[in-house]
Amino acid sequence: MFKSIEMAPADPILGLSEAFKADTNADKINLGVGVYKDEAGATPVLKCIKSAEAKLVDTETTKGYLPIDGNPAYGQAVRELLFGSNSEIVASARAATSHTPGGTGALRVAGEFIKNVLGVKSIWLSDPSWANHAAVFGAVGLEVKKYPYFDKASNGLDFQGMIEGLKSVGKGEVVLLHGCCHNPTGVDPTVEQWEKIASVVAERGGLPLVDFAYQGFGVGLEEDAAGLRAVAAKNKELLVCSSFSKNFGLYNERVGAFTVVAEDAEAVKKAQSQVKTLIRRIYSNPPAHGGAAVATVLADDALTKQWHDELAEMRERIAKMRQLFVDELNQRGVKLSDAGNQFIVDQCGMFSFSGLTKEQVDVLKKEHSIYIVGSGRINVAGISEKNVGKLCDAIAVVAGAAV
């Protein structure tokens, strides 16, 4: 039977890492997968996590199973980060959180909940969106629809197009919104635009699903939550998929969360009972270590302060690399849009939608050993003072002085 199986195509993002590893060029550059890297090209373990892990080693007494939805202390910490420790949602206990295997695990649980518990048949995604969104939701049988998001002419948000698209959302349909640091574009709505988005979704009777994988990588932990909180203020029911892969550097620990917000505490208890039934069928219960490390940090004022400082350092390095990238492009006379390269500085978070075409990206990989996602999405965190010159020299060759 197995001999008849065809080889699956490589993942468009993770497959880049496999190709990168096989490349023997000593000067190769990986700007594909969304992993933070420091100036040395390493993905470090945060000091606050090291301290939390040391504490866990000293105090851990069991390797027994966690509850289906994970450690309650972890869930409480997640909700307070999302909505604020003094928020009405937290105080009224009308939200429930499940610890999931990463943000992707949260999205899969969300998809199962949407399709099999709510009976919803379709979900709206931004155009473009993270490549795996359509795959995850398609796998559970949801029809994927798209609303406009990115304006290629301005390299910014097509806000009017987005609003018009959201006005086509049917009652009960799910709308996925990127909470901050939009992947892949790096273009986020303003606070005022978030208010309008939240109102339109509410008026249409849609159910918001906020994918929140980069809290703290944009402007700051509180500032980055403004969009989510605007949505929550206008929509009494919503879903949130969040991740600590990026902001805690816990990529291989798979630390995510699926949070359900309902109109009241009784309704959320019923919803959470169904979520737990779904989880039991998929992975039974979550791994303990990563979530325990996060909960330990967030329960300790000194470790929380250290985390804030380390997160700010990562965020500031990304912003510095954005500016350096633009400066180096400008020095070479390379314009990635008719208006220049300022749009790269204006974008937010780990990624830049560079404007490079798939053909140019292919040449960068084949002739220069520079690995970028086919859409032109660049992981800015992969740029360093050491490799930015080579990167911009190669872009100058494939893109010329004007595109």
The active-site residue, picked from 69, 115, 124, 130, is: 130
**pLDDT > 90: what percent of the chain?**
86
Quick check: 403 pLDDT over 70?
no
pTM (predicted TM-score): 0.93
Answer yes or no: is pLDDT of 155 > 60: yes
CATH architecture of 65-299: 3-Layer(aba) Sandwich (3.40)
Catalytic residue (one of 115, 246, 307, 365)? 246
- Please tell me the predicted confidence (pLDDT) of residue 402: 41
Catalytic, 211? Answer yes
Asked if the model's pLDDT at residue 401 lies above 70, the reply is: no
Question: Which residues make up the CATH 3.40.640.10 domain(s) of the chain?
Answer: 65-299
Tell me the fold of 13-45+312-397.
Aspartate Aminotransferase, domain 1 (3.90.1150)
Task: Give pLDDT tens digits for 287-341.
Answer: 999 999 999 999 999 999 999 999 999 999 999 999 999 999 999 999 988 888 9
Q: Which of 211, 224, 234, 365 is catalytic?
A: 211
Domain span(s) for CATH 3.90.1150.10 in the chain: 13-45+312-397
What is the rounded CA–CA span in Å between residue 99 and residue 1?
37
Overall average pLDDT of the 155-161 stretch: 95
335 is catalytic: no
